[in-house]
Structure 1
Amino acid sequence: MALSVDSALYRWQRLGAESPSQTLSELAPLLFSVRDKAKLNLDKWRIVFPNNGRQQKDWKQASTFYSGNRIQTTKYTWFTFLPQNLFEQFHRLGNIYFFFLVVLNWFPQVEVFHKEITMLPLIVVLLASMIKDAVEDYRKYQFDKMINFSKTRVYDKEERAYVERCWKDVQVGDFVQLQCNETIPADILLLYSSDQNGICHLETANLDGETNLKQRQVVTGFSSQNTLFEPEFFQNTIICEMPNNDLNKFKGYMEQPNHERIGFNIESLLLRGCTIRNTEAAIGIVIYAGHETKAMLNNNGPRYKRSKIERRMNIDIFLCVGLLFMMCLVGAIGHGIWTRNFLEHPPYDVPDENGDFLSPVLAGIYMFLTMIILLQVLIPISLYVSIELVKLGQVFLIHNDIDLFDEEADLPIQCRALNITEDLGQIQYIFSDKTGTLTENKMVFRRCTIDGIEFSHQENARRLETHKELDLDDEDLAKLQHFTLPPMNIERPATYKQRTMRPLRRCQSARAHFQGHTRNRSLGRRDSNQSQVAFSSTIEKDVTPDSRLLRRVREAALQTEDLSPFIHMKTSPSLTDFFLALAICNTVLVSTATEPRQRVTVPPPIKPSGITLEKIHQIFQRLKLASLSQSLSSSQSSSDLGASFNAKNTEEHLAALGCCDNDDDCCTSSRGDELRGKGSTDIGSASLDEVFKSVTNNSLPTDFCYEAESPDEAALVYAAQAYSFTLVSRTPEHVTVRLPQGTLLTFDILYTLGFDSVRKRMSVVVRHPLTKEIVVYTKGADSVIMDLLEDSAKADISAEKRMKRIKEKTQKHLDYYARDGLRTLCIAKKVLNEDDFQKWANFRREAEAAIDNRDELLMETAQHLETKLTLLGATGIEDRLQDGVPDTIAALREAGIQIWVLTGDKQETAVNIAYSCKLLKQRDTVFTINTENKVNIE
């Protein structure tokens, strides 16, 4: 049995005594039983026991301390509505003023009107506001009720099956089964996915507004299950951090019955409110429920909002009260002086029950209070009622404004807060993001530099200048096909057939029409009223290749045709690595146009008899495949390249390699003898045809959809595809790239180090299928990549000069890209030997299993790996301004509104964009403050 509550204290005390070097923080999660949760250590860690009957006592004890899954976003309850609403309404000075008049009118000495009549206006005002607030809060109550009574499938330990339950009945420790297009009811640790690679895809639009799919990975050790996950056999105990509102961080570990620990992080956590996509079934255990989920912790709850006009009105009412006080004071003083002038008493004065008359001073006080009631019209009691009616009318007009209707989403504008609509016209400051707000967030590959040589892609630039966003029919699409370069699919080595490939299409991101966490249980089928968002237009996916770069690619192909060792290789191997890095160094999801957002998988190639991988490797080495991977793409050049690979040239290749087309007739040549004399190995009777067929899969589709978490990644993948380095498939363990000839190369993915804002880069560690080298491909900001480059050996002066020259030229090109307003990325690589990689991998696994200082350890391992890189090149990506942005900003500035734009781009890029969108004018004086210390700015 896994760790129990009653045994936790004893076992960890014993371990602590045996291992005195262990710090308290390492033992903290399990030092105390759940009964002692109030103690300090369990304020930092949470213990989750499975609700499957095996640890029922522990689960019951722990569940009493955890929140249920019922949520409440309403401001009031049936019992607190009246006092709480009155308390909020009396924040208005006007209401306090009128209430004072009502109380004052109850005193007979100063009574002016009937008591009931004086109360009636105030009651009407308060009641009108109460009704409005009650209606608004009742809508929230209905929304909460719809969510709480939504259905999901929860494992029942009595029936030993999944049964439908309401969301409100889900508890921490329950096992939940999710289906495609279902909304996640709580924060759940992923333990099973129907995907063969243990991947679950999420759409997080309800949390962050992004429609691109996010990938979540089953906890290590659970991804290799061949059968459905069975909760009754789950015996592990989960220790994780306490609930917090950080959507991007989560850490913990799972303790197995043999006391082994399995670490996990945010990549295995399914967040409440997200939607399951592309996954038929997923099973997980609830970690946080209800108001302890990360989504609810980011919701600060309902609060009373007051507009600027309302706050200003309080000041005006205060001034009016001051004026009223002065008027009443003057009247009271005058009345006292006037009554004093009578010798006895005023003739209208009535004595009290004792026969006494009022003194002039007391008469003046009563007159002061009486005049307050008489002059109360100075502040009209209908003021707030009139304002509320005007607000309702304004909300109605806003909801029905045709200019504010979103045709793409088929939704009108909605006012969530009815109290502050008038503030829309009182804006003084606008704080704006750049990407996706000022720009279209449509990243387009614009230009690149490889080995210090700049390729401007002028044709691509002209296409971008003249391109118009139109809905293209099939005829128009056919006209644009020359923008995409088709690969050459090898069916026989003697005749290379050309098969035109349709332009790649990025998937439409199908965002479910979501209303209050409702879900569609139709297993992957979407409602017809779903809105199609995040559509990638033609401008993003079509890249016109640069003629000079295309010529170098053609030279590489022709050099491959002639295997003479005396021919100088003019093309650099960096071309190959550059395009492979563009295709591999990402987390792009690959699917087909016929099955959008359904992962493409490549079946393992069938190896013909008599052909070993070593023999295939020898042929690829002879064909200079590593350099050939820089190859061809254009439809205008594919015919020339295809003609060069004809039957005659193939026979020469076979002769040069000493290969036989059949057992009886073996080809020989002096060139073949020469090559064999230099150490080549005879590969027997294997034909080149068989070799290519063993690594080529012509049954794969040619029309792919690319879905990327970042538009930059998709742009780079499209750029690689334009030169026929096509990303075909990606799984957590493998990535497959189709080379220009149609040959498939499947790389083993050893590790993926995702991008973060601290490192400003991402890396992918792969094993090359031919050379078996361990290669690290890295892309990131030039400000960090340039500092991580390897210094050439001082003994090799020529290599040092060459690398220095490449670095200087690349930096010069990057500065030019930035001044042109392009987003820049550097591409680099590193080759590791097996021993160094194993040492690093062990260090990485220890960091992943740690729970204390895990983030720091993971950062340290990443920085240790991403050093001594070799620069391959850099890219410039364009993100165009949205239509009307310059005119809008100019109009806002002219209206006196101050605009601030936040961007993570380079300084030169940011300044260029600022001028382009008219945030800066040519006559403006720009002050630049660069510092890494906050104190220096102050």
Structure 2
Amino acid sequence: GQHRETLSLQIAKNLEDRLSPGVRDLIRQALSVFLCCLAPFQVLFNQFKYFFNLYFLLLACSQFVPEMRLGALYTYWVPLGFVLAVTVIREAVEEIRCYVRDKEVNSQVYSRLTARGTVKVKSSNIQVGDLIIVEKNQRVPADMIFLRTSEKNGSCFLRTDQLDGETDWKLRLPVACTQRLPTAADLLQIRSYVYAEEPNIDIHNFVGTFTREDSDPPISESLSIENTLWAGTVVASGTVVGVVLYTGRELRSVMNTSNPRSKIGLFDLEVNCLTKILFGALVVVSLVMVALQHFAGRWYLQIIRFLLLFSNIIPISLRVNLDMGKIVYSWVIRRDSKIPGTVVRSSTIPEQLGRISYLLTDKTGTLTQNEMIFKRLHLGTVAYGLDSMDEVQSHIFSIYTQQSQDPPAQKGPTLTTKVRRTMSSRVHEAVKAIALCHNVTPVYESNGVTDQAEAEKQYEDSCRVYQASSPDEVALVQWTESVGLTLVGRDQSSMQLRTPGDQILNFTILQIFPFTYESKRMGIIVRDESTGEITFYMKGADVVMAGIVQYNDWLEEECGNMAREGLRVLVVAKKSLAEEQYQDFEARYVQAKLSVHDRSLKVATVIESLEMEMELLCLTGVEDQLQADVRPTLETLRNAGIKVWMLTGDKLETATCTAKNAHLVTRNQDIHVFRLVTNRGEAHLELNAFRRKHDCALVISGDSLEVCLKYYEYEFMELACQCPAVVCCRCAPTQKAQIVRLLQERTGKLTCAVGDGGNDVSMIQESDCGVGVEGKEGKQASLAADFSITQFKHLGRLLMVHGRNSYKRSAALSQFVIHRSLCISTMQAVFSSVFYFASVPLYQGFLIIGYSTIYTMFPVFSLVLDKDVKSEVAMLYPELYKDLLKGRPLSYKTFLIWVLISIYQGSTIMYGALLLFESEFVHIVAISFTSLILTELLMVALTIQTWHWLMTVAELLSLACYIASLVFLHEFIDVYFIATLSFLWKVSVITLVSCLPLYVLKYLRRRFSPPSYSKLTS
């Protein structure tokens, strides 16, 4: 059997700490200091797992060997130290933030019930078995079993948005026998224990039993999710007492914070590939240099010296520059006033946003508002729409006025009256079922005039808000209120409805069967207090309800008709139960709930025994309206060359209707609805039929999709990828993730997944770039995503402007950093060749460090502010995004162009300096190094498309820094020589020869073969 935990409540009373609190705190502090000291070493160790960081460490260490030393030690250690320092500081900032957050949480104070009364305890000192009191609006500090509440209705509400992302309040019930105790202190006088399942990650289920041993006979109660208070949730009503069940790493919330798949951007992989090519070039050049010496003498030492000499070929600062760039892009996205509320949760992949080929989106709450409006009530023979709701109101009114006043004596009702009365009773039955079958609770809040207790007593309309797990439920209850039957009160065992005549109807809740994604239905058994009648009400999706209700000839057809209008359809049914029939059911149900093994299966079997031959009452249709600007956003994405797939759990007809409304499927586009297939043969025939269609949108259900992927995965994906739009309906969360994975594998293109609910988390985490929409269903998707937005329309700007800019800027930055390193390495190669392949460095000491830091770092990094077009133009012409997918700004072709530029400029500067220097070697250094710095600054100016004032400052500041530092560089440069005209004209000529041809080529290209973006800016 499975390992389980048994927990005695006596622990809270008689457990004595073996260590005094002072000693325990001292040990804890010593341990935390030791771990803090270890943290920097852990970060450094992680950094040296990367090949190139380890490579530069070995290079720096080689300088301790006299035969390999090329110059001052600091020329190798300072750059490495700088790169690692930036990384360690960044990690330290993150660690400090986490530490402050944790300390804040761990130092919150709670009340603990003990034999000596209530004592204060920090949340970090709470232990298993403690009896903890949690006040209203306080966070629950540990996973607990709910024992008592101060609320008179014997239940409490929890806010769980930080745990499961859902914004509705959850109803929780205390253990019945502990709630009946006169005071909370009596909990310490009883002898009882909790038998609980072992810790696991499931936050939606719990199995256990509570046994009180000091009663005769012992009382046993089954425990379920309704009796739990998970850590991280907030008590929304009353004061509660619970016994601590799990702490530390066994908490549900902690077990659910598994590290998600770490996403490495495609751009980073491409840059890594280029650096590997550069490493290959480094080895080849070193071998060639030694080969030209005919491997004379200790040639192996010469190879190592050349590897050290040309180590600049691999730019040590590339990774840091790109990481800092990503931080800038994230900051720019957060600061964009046109997309308020956007959060960047993963700052490592902003370039991915500029290369998306497939966008996979949820429907409800993502494309739609998730704000439900009741639109249709269908009774089979008659339907009521928005324009005829007053008829429903009059039917309800007539029923209750007839009941409240005896009709005057008549000779007999006319036929019309009889028909009207039967119709009124049918409408009444349907409305009453909708008003009773739900998990909605009315909550009364103070409105400044009436206080909370008074409002609750008087059922004050203005103070009432409805709490439920789904917007559909609230819409239905608000509708019943609008037609005259108002839900005014509810606790764990009763419900109150108010009629149009202000009469209160009382119902006892006998059982409730909550909605689940698997069952697709919910049910409730109530007893009408005025008549004693027991009724089982149920509502759910048509696919499951069709097999539960009695045979009828209109359900399927009308469900289809309503779905085609874009309505979400629910089927409502009822069944009257005799007292003995219910008692028999209850006995079996309680027995099933007490079982510890296979509880859910046994419970479902018992409930199913009731779900037969139910009377179909009505269909309800609610509409979920589209979000603002969904249509233009989808059109923008389509014009940008992005294919949009809609993956939803909704009905086929509803999903198709939404796809048309949102213009996901254009007006003149054919739609191929994939027939329902159940086996290989049917799938083969349907795929052949689909293959004959051209340029049509595909609509397919989850069941058919599963069959196709099982037998014809390759063929199906090949055909689907050619479609301009795809709609998958009745999609399970696991299927959504599977589709994302298949698209990545089959096409090799980047995918972006957008969703708002817990059922979208798996696809968001699976995609290359996950975007969460903060919506009515909470923050679960938003918290799991790489980027979080508040509305779907913000996605257009996120991709077209920020994605495009981030990708282009990083491409320019990385290639420029590589160019900067190749340039100086080419000069070193020319210098060594001229001087008989000697492994002697051209530049030493501060020159080599200053070159890639203070002299060129700021202008090169300022490329992260560059943009080729204004953001308005990028939004107006999404085709620019499509161009980016075709001709990549970072490719082997562009890399080769930059390599050739580097070789040309490096050779020109070095040969120019060798030809024009007079007598001293220091003149070569002065002329070539100054020309190199000027060339780099001019090349940055050539690369920039749109000047920003910070770019100008960076250029001028770098030049000023170089000129000012010349005074201190007399060890390497002749200070008197640089003040002569001879020096100035030589540097000017060399710089002109190295840069002018590139300026001319840029002008000619703009003139005769301009890129598409330049046509829009000119």
Same fold, TM-score > 0.5, yes or no: yes
CA gap 1:822/1:93 in 2 versus in 1, 3 angstroms: same
Tell me the equivalent position of 1:309. 267
Task: State the AA in 2 paired with 1:294.
Answer: R
SS at match of 2:141: coil
Tell me the equivalent position of 2:383. 454
**Is residue 184 from structure 1 mapped to residue 140 from structure 2 by the alignment?**
yes
Please state how far the C-alpha of 1:708 moved relative to its aligned partner.
1.9
Please state how far the C-alpha of 1:442 moved relative to its aligned partner.
0.9
CA distance in 1 between counterparts of 2:453 and 2:468 reads 13
Contact 1:754 1:762 in 2 (8 A): yes
SS at match of 2:258: coil
Please state how far the C-alpha of 1:927 moved relative to its aligned partner.
4.9
Contact 2:143 2:229 in 1 (8 A): yes
Contact 1:217 1:268 in 2 (8 A): yes
**Is residue 931 from structure 1 mapped to residue 703 from structure 2 by the alignment?**
yes
Deviations 1:536-583 (A, max 9, x none): xxxxxxxxx535545655665787745645444213322121111111
CA distance in 2 between counterparts of 1:861 and 1:598 reads 40
CA distance in 1 between counterparts of 2:262 and 2:571 reads 49
Contact 2:112 2:118 in 1 (8 A): yes
Task: State the AA in 1 paired with 2:541.
Answer: A
CA gap 1:168/1:303 in 2 versus in 1, 3 angstroms: farther
Unaligned runs of 5+ in 1: 1-24, 26-40, 62-69, 337-359, 407-412, 460-544, 604-698, 792-803
Task: State the AA in 2 paired with 1:328.
Answer: S
CA gap 1:369/1:188 in 2 versus in 1, 3 angstroms: same
Match of 2:545 among 785, 796, 800: 785
SS at match of 2:700: coil
**Is residue 270 from structure 1 mapped to residue 238 from structure 2 by the alignment?**
no
CA gap 1:745/1:911 in 2 versus in 1, 3 angstroms: same
SS at match of 2:325: helix
Question: What does 1:430-829 align with in structure 2 at a 5 Å threshold?
Answer: 430-457=359-386, 459=387, 545-550=388-393, 552-553=395-396, 561=407, 564=410, 565-568=412-415, 569-570=418-419, 571-572=422-423, 573-592=425-444, 594=446, 700-703=459-462, 704-790=464-550, 804=552, 808-829=553-574
CA distance in 2 between counterparts of 1:133 and 1:51 reads 45
Tell me the equivalent position of 1:18. none
CA distance in 2 between counterparts of 1:166 and 1:593 reads 31
Tell me the equivalent position of 2:987. none
Tell me the equivalent position of 1:531. none
CA gap 1:894/1:88 in 2 versus in 1, 3 angstroms: farther
Contact 1:452 1:810 in 2 (8 A): no
Q: TM-score, normalised by structure 2?
A: 0.61
CA distance in 1 between counterparts of 2:12 and 2:51 reads 59
Deviations 1:600-621 (A, max 9, x none): 9987xxxxxxxxxxxxxxxxxx
**Is residue 47 from structure 1 mapped to residue 9 from structure 2 by the alignment?**
no
Tell me the equivalent position of 2:336. 401
SS at match of 1:728: strand
CA distance in 2 between counterparts of 1:712 and 1:207 reads 22
CA gap 1:927/1:885 in 2 versus in 1, 3 angstroms: closer
Contact 1:245 1:297 in 2 (8 A): yes
CA distance in 2 between counterparts of 1:150 and 1:900 reads 46
Contact 1:94 1:314 in 2 (8 A): no
Match of 2:93 among 135, 140, 143: 135
Task: State the AA in 2 paired with 1:585.
Answer: C
Tell me the equivalent position of 1:920. 665
CA gap 1:415/1:860 in 2 versus in 1, 3 angstroms: same
Please state how far the C-alpha of 1:244 moved relative to its aligned partner.
0.9
Tell me the equivalent position of 1:843. 588
Deviations 1:749-790 (A, max 9, x none): 111111112221111111123332211111111111121113
CA gap 1:374/1:602 in 2 versus in 1, 3 angstroms: closer
Contact 1:190 1:218 in 2 (8 A): yes
CA gap 1:260/1:99 in 2 versus in 1, 3 angstroms: same
Tell me the equivalent position of 1:104. 62
CA distance in 2 between counterparts of 1:428 and 1:202 reads 41
Task: State the AA in 2 paired with 1:164.
Answer: K
**Is residue 240 from structure 1 mapped to residue 83 from structure 2 by the alignment?**
no
Tell me the equivalent position of 1:392. 327
Task: State the AA in 1 paired with 2:602.
Answer: L
Please state how far the C-alpha of 1:133 moved relative to its aligned partner.
0.8
SS at match of 1:244: coil
Q: TM-score, normalised by structure 1?
A: 0.66
SS at match of 1:729: strand
Task: State the AA in 1 paired with 2:536.
Answer: V
Please state how far the C-alpha of 1:270 moved relative to its aligned partner.
0.8
Q: Which moved more, 1:570-579 or 1:267-276?
A: 570-579
SS at match of 1:883: coil
Please state how far the C-alpha of 1:288 moved relative to its aligned partner.
1.0
CA gap 1:748/1:389 in 2 versus in 1, 3 angstroms: closer
Question: What does 1:191-230 align with in structure 2 at a 5 Å threshold?
Answer: 191-228=147-184, 230=186
Contact 1:597 1:705 in 2 (8 A): no
CA gap 1:419/1:550 in 2 versus in 1, 3 angstroms: closer
Task: State the AA in 2 paired with 1:725.
Answer: L
CA distance in 1 between counterparts of 2:266 and 2:191 reads 57
Tell me the equivalent position of 1:522. none
Question: What does 1:229-378 align with in structure 2 at a 5 Å threshold?
Answer: 230-257=186-213, 258-279=217-238, 281-301=239-259, 306-336=264-294, 360-378=295-313
**Is residue 876 from structure 1 mapped to residue 719 from structure 2 by the alignment?**
no
Please state how far the C-alpha of 1:304 moved relative to its aligned partner.
7.0
SS at match of 1:181: coil
Deviations 1:792-815 (A, max 9, x none): xxxxxxxxxxxx3xxx23432221
CA gap 1:846/1:306 in 2 versus in 1, 3 angstroms: same
Task: State the AA in 2 paired with 1:916.
Answer: N
Please state how far the C-alpha of 1:826 moved relative to its aligned partner.
0.7
**Is residue 832 from structure 1 mapped to residue 577 from structure 2 by the alignment?**
yes
CA gap 1:302/1:816 in 2 versus in 1, 3 angstroms: closer
Choose between structure 1 and 2: higher helix proportion. Answer: 2
CA distance in 2 between counterparts of 1:452 and 1:774 reads 27
Contact 1:590 1:707 in 2 (8 A): yes
Tell me the equivalent position of 2:75. 117
Deviations 1:313-344 (A, max 9, x none): 222111110111122222221111xxxxxxxx
CA distance in 2 between counterparts of 1:107 and 1:180 reads 68
Task: State the AA in 1 paired with 2:71.
Answer: F
CA gap 1:707/1:229 in 2 versus in 1, 3 angstroms: farther
Residues matched between the structures, number: 658
CA gap 1:392/1:810 in 2 versus in 1, 3 angstroms: closer
Contact 2:400 2:501 in 1 (8 A): no
Tell me the equivalent position of 1:155. 113
CA distance in 2 between counterparts of 1:878 and 1:75 reads 58
CA gap 1:758/1:317 in 2 versus in 1, 3 angstroms: same
Tell me the equivalent position of 1:351. none
Please state how far the C-alpha of 1:832 moved relative to its aligned partner.
0.7
CA gap 1:224/1:584 in 2 versus in 1, 3 angstroms: farther
Unaligned runs of 5+ in 2: 20-27, 670-695, 711-1018
Q: Which moved more, 1:891-900 or 1:191-200?
A: 891-900
CA distance in 1 between counterparts of 2:218 and 2:549 reads 43
SS at match of 1:931: helix
